[in-house]
């Protein structure tokens, strides 16, 4: 667990360093993800070492968003008079984006024969 | 009575109380989500409302709460890196679905940015408030950077991003069930694009394949939004 966490932190640190150094508009952890993904092909044994910790972390991913989410309370007044319009835009736009993506995926999967294997 | 007041003012200053409140509330909200199985029983939504109510009732500022809760918040970084494992485990499925994913990414990312700006503008939202909306479907660190770049308010964008995530997590399952989309790859990928990490967390709770594809959707949309949002704002708004 501790060893796995150390490996994950090392990749995050490397990602952060590259992001800062190159000025890429991407967060360090996303670059760390890409680097670890690449390394897993070179060293598949890394998977056994990280699997248990990754499953635990991702199984409770919702928990990790709670502290930032509570920040909504501190910004309630920022909404001011645009509150209802912003709420409508968020709900409708999020629904439309999900439907557009799912429909595009399904349509192209049917065209290319890339059907689900389940 | 004054002993109780002393104890409260001591504990309210310390990280321990707020870290404990965060974990205990989440454990309760998680149990509620498993037993009730209603979309509104989303653990992020329930925890945010419960903890927010405690802070508003006791007058404790968010910054003091965050001093304790930051230990949980910090784990978002390693958890994002850990998304590489479900990605790697699903790599054969990924290869098979490259073209559908590309189509879904472009359609979802464009729709998220254009419809948010279009609807808000039609409802009278203007200026930096409108611009803050453009990157709302991207993961928070990317969205904040984009917001700053195009002239929005990063602190408002942070709130809009979190709300988008919660909305996506709450509406996606009932909506996609009603529309009869059964492909877990498409469902997860779409939720990751539209509702970033909170949507991905929800997808992992529903189905492991959906979770893996949601993680990729989130990562790819972070990159595409960083390119598309400034372009769309310059062209149309």
CA distance B108 to chain A (A): 4
Using the beta-carbon criterion (under 8 Å), do A93 and B136 form an inter-chain contact?
Answer: yes
Where a domain ends, among B27, B57, B74?
B74
Contact B26, A66 (CB under 8 A): yes
Q: Band of the pLDDT at A31, cuts 50, 70, 90?
A: confident
Count of domains observed in chain B: 2
Q: Is the domain of B220 the same as that of B123? A: yes
Hunting for tokens 């539209």 — which residue is that? B194
Q: Band of the pLDDT at A58, cuts 50, 70, 90?
A: confident
In the predicted structure, residue A105 carries a pLDDT above the cut 60: yes
**Contacting residues of A for B89, CB less than 8 Å apart:** 47
In the predicted structure, residue A19 carries a pLDDT above the cut 90: no
Two tokens, residue B203? 């997808």
What pLDDT is attached to residue A95?
Answer: 98
Q: Is the domain of B226 the same as that of B126? A: yes
The answer to whether residue B226 neighbours chain A at the CB level (below 8 Å) is: yes
Q: Is the domain of B90 the same as that of B180? A: yes
Residue B193 has its nearest CB partner, among A9, A36, A101, at: A101
In the predicted structure, residue A26 carries a pLDDT above the cut 80: no
What would the 3-class secondary structure string for B22-84 be? HHHHHHHHHHHHHHHCCCCCCHHHHHHHHHHHHHHHHCCCHHHHHHHHHHHHHCHHHHHHHCH
Helix axes B208-236, B140-150, angle to 10 degrees: 0
Test the B interface: residue of A7, A65, A96, A110 with most B CBs within 10 Å: A65
In the predicted structure, residue A71 carries a pLDDT above the cut 90: no
Q: What is the mean pLDDT of residues A21-40?
A: 86
Where a domain ends, among B50, B74, B98?
B74
Please write the tens of the pLDDT for every residue from B31-57. 999 999 888 999 999 999 999 999 999
How many other C-beta atoms are found inside a 10 Å radius of the C-beta of residue B115? Answer: 18
CA distance A18 to chain B (A): 14
Q: Is the domain of B119 the same as that of B225? A: yes
User: Could you report the predicted ipTM of this complex, rounded to two decimals?
Assistant: 0.90
Q: Is the domain of B69 the same as that of B97? A: no
Collect the ranges in chain B with pLDDT lower than 70. Answer: 1
Please write the tens of the pLDDT for every residue from B214-228. 999 998 898 899 889
Q: Is the domain of B97 the same as that of B202? A: yes
* CB neighbour class for B102 (10 Å; exposed up to 12, middle 13-18, buried from 19): middle
Q: Is the domain of B69 the same as that of B103? A: no
What pLDDT is attached to residue B156?
Answer: 87
Q: Is the domain of B54 the same as that of B143? A: no
Where a domain ends, among B22, B46, B74?
B74
How many other C-beta atoms are found inside a 10 Å radius of the C-beta of residue B196? Answer: 30
pLDDT > 70: percent of chain A: 96
Q: Is the domain of B220 the same as that of B124? A: yes
Test the B interface: residue of A18, A89, A92, A118 with most B CBs within 10 Å: A89
In the predicted structure, residue A118 carries a pLDDT above the cut 60: no
Q: Is the domain of B11 the same as that of B94? A: no
Contact B83, A77 (CB under 8 A): no
Structural domain boundaries enclosing B56? 2-74
Using the beta-carbon criterion (under 8 Å), do A98 and B108 form an inter-chain contact?
Answer: yes
List the 92-131 stretch of B: residues with Cβ below 8 A of A. 93, 96-97, 99-112, 115-116, 119-120, 123-125, 129
Q: Is the domain of B66 the same as that of B85? A: no
More confident residue, A26 or A15: A15
Using the beta-carbon criterion (under 8 Å), do B48 and A32 form an inter-chain contact?
Answer: no
Residue ranges covered by each domain of chain A: 1-64, 80-118
Query: Is the dihedral angle over the CA atoms B142, B108, A31, B63 positive or is it negative?
Result: positive
Phi/psi for B135 (5° steps) reads -90, 25
Two tokens, residue A80? 């001011």
Q: Is the domain of B184 the same as that of B88? A: yes
């Amino acid at each position: 667990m501790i060893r796995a966490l150390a490996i994950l932190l090392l990749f995050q640190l490397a990602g952060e360093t590259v992001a800062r150094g190159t000025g890429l508009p991407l967060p360090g952890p996303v670059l760390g993800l890409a680097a670890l993904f690449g390394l897993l092909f070179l060293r598949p044994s890394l998977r056994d070492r990280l699997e248990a910790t990754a499953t635990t972390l991702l199984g409770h991913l919702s928990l990790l968003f709670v502290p930032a989410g509570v920040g909504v309370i501190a910004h309630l007044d920022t909404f001011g008079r645009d509150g209802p319009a912003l709420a409508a835009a968020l709900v409708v736009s999020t629904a439309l984006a999900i439907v557009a993506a799912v429909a595009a995926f399904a349509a192209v999967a049917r065209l290319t024969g890339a059907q689900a294997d389940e | 009575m004054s002993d109780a007041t002393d104890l409260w003012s001591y504990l309210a200053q310390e990280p321990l109380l707020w870290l404990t409140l965060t974990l205990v509330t989440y454990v309760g909200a998680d149990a509620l989500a498993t037993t009730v199985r209603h979309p509104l029983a989303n653990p992020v939504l329930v925890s945010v409302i419960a903890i927010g109510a405690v802070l508003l009732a006791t007058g404790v500022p968010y910054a003091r709460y965050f001093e304790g809760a930051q230990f949980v918040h910090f784990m978002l970084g390693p958890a994002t890196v850990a998304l590489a494992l479900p990605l790697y485990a699903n790599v054969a499925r990924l290869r098979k679905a490259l073209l559908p994913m590309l189509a879904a990414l472009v359609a979802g990312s464009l729709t998220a940015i254009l419809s948010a700006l279009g609807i808000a503008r039609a409802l009278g939202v203007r200026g930096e408030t409108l611009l803050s909306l453009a990157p709302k479907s991207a993961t928070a660190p990317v969205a904040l950077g984009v917001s700053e770049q195009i002239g929005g308010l990063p602190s408002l964008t942070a709130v809009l991003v979190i709300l988008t995530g919660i909305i996506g997590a709450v509406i996606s399952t009932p909506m996609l069930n009603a529309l009869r989309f059964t492909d877990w790859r498409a469902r997860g990928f779409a939720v990751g694009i539209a509702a970033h990490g909170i949507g991905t967390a929800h997808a992992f709770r529903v189905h492991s394949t959906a979770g893996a594809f949601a993680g990729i959707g989130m990562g790819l949309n972070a990159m595409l939004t960083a390119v598309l949002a400034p372009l769309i704002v310059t062209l149309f708004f």
